Every structure is written in C-alpha cells, then in structure tokens.
Amino acid sequence: MNKTALEIRHLHVWHNQKPIIQDFNISAKQGETVALVSSSKDLQLSLLDGLLGLNTERQGSIRIHETESIHLAAQNVPHLGLALCSKETGLAFALTCEENLLLPLVGHSLGGGLSLTEIYDLFPLLAQYKEAPCTRLSPGEQQLLALARVLRTGADIIVLHDLHADFCPAIQSTATTLLKKLKERGYTLILNESNKPFAASLADRLYCIKNGKAHLYQVHHKHPISA
C-alpha cells in the first residue's frame, strides 16, 4: 500500500484575522492525483499560502511525508519534497529554454531530480525549443517549462496552481498526457484548480472548497463532472 505523501488535518487559515480556510481536511497517497476546486481566487490563494507557510496566520496539521510542517518557515517546506508550480514560478525570460532548465533553484534542490534527457523524453515540445528564448513559448508552454524546472529539483509532491488557465486545446492534451505519466512515475499531484471538468479528468479524488472547507466529490472518469 502506498504511503501517505500529504496529510492536512484541521487546517485553519486567517487573513488579517478573518477566517478564510476552516477545518480543512484532505490526504494524498504517493502516486495519487488529488484536485482541490474552487471558483474563488481568494480561497485558492489562501489555501496555497497556508499549505506553503507563506501565511503564518494558521493552525492545524500539515504532514509532508509524515513530517509535521505547520511550524516551518516557507523556505524550509521545499526540503520535505513539496514544490509549487504556477504561472508565477520564476522563469528567466532572457535565457533559452535549456538554460532555464540548467538554472539552479537556490535552496530548493533536493537532489534526485530528473535529468535533461528524462525531461526531454517527457516534454518533447521543450526539446524542440531548447535553443529558443522563453519568450518564443506561449503562456501554456511556459507553464510546462515551469513544471519541468520543478521536476529538476527532486520534489515528488507537486502543487499545480490553476494549471489549466493558460492552456489552448493542444497544450491541454499534452499536459493531460504528461500528468498521467508523472502519476505513473509515483509523483503526488495536487491540482489547485478553478476548472472542475479538467481537474475531474485527472483526479483520483476531487474536493470542492466551499466556505473554507473541503467537500469530497465522486469522480467518474468516463463521465467527467460538468462545470
């Protein structure tokens, strides 16, 4: 049986003393894809800030690979193997795609990340653009490059924030195939999404966030949940 990679219990997050996330409970085993869906950007960002330690107005339990992280500063959370991938994930736009992949993420590398060969096997699109500047990539392709950079760090729990937002249909198809391959490799994927059908097509379990709490929804991959 796969071990629990991430377990959140009774998490409360406040912003300026106002409760945003309330008694939040989810878990994800190694190799699972778990989707957290909300149409509220404030809820999405508050949950991220609480999970990553960016907001210290929080209480409860966040166990990453069985290690309690609720007391850790944000810069120490990645050392437990959890990383964020979002459109804000820093890319150096003056550099080529390959130079970005070779650029170290200071303080975030755990060792054991994917090699360039493995990255290009998973992301053939990036192999095509490896000598091109990042500015040649579409927003969706830049998202994939940001994800590839995270995979270079050795993190095995990846929180993907609103990944779907910048995808055209072709890139969505590419990303869906890629995320399924990462799941097969044992990565734990947490989708912090606003698009329920996209999240449902990938998730083993889907939670809708309402009133700051996680509500479990049944996922039927043959009949995706409608928006």
For residue 138, what is the domain's CATH number? 3.40.50.300
pTM over 0.85: yes
pLDDT the model gives residue 61: 98
Which of 109 and 180 is assigned the larger pLDDT?
180
Quick check: 196 pLDDT over 80? yes
Q: Is residue 224 part of a domain?
A: no
Residue 223 pLDDT level (bands cut at 50, 70, 90): very low
- Beta-sheet pairing, 33-37 with 188-193: parallel
Q: Is residue 223 part of a domain?
A: no
pLDDT the model gives residue 106: 55
Q: Is residue 213 part of a domain?
A: yes
Quick check: 109 pLDDT over 70? no
Q: Is residue 150 part of a domain?
A: yes
Choose among 97, 201, 192, 194: nearest CA to 152.
97
pLDDT the model gives residue 107: 53
Residue 88 pLDDT level (bands cut at 50, 70, 90): low
Q: Are 55 and 227 in contact (CB under 8 A)?
A: no
Quick check: 225 pLDDT over 60? no
- Token pair 């990340």: residue: 113
Q: Is residue 225 part of a domain?
A: no
pLDDT the model gives residue 154: 93
Structural domain of residue 30, as residue ranges? 4-217
Mean pLDDT of all residues in 136-144: 92
Q: Is residue 21 part of a domain?
A: yes
Number of domains the chain is built from: 1
Q: Is residue 133 part of a domain?
A: yes
Q: Is residue 171 part of a domain?
A: yes
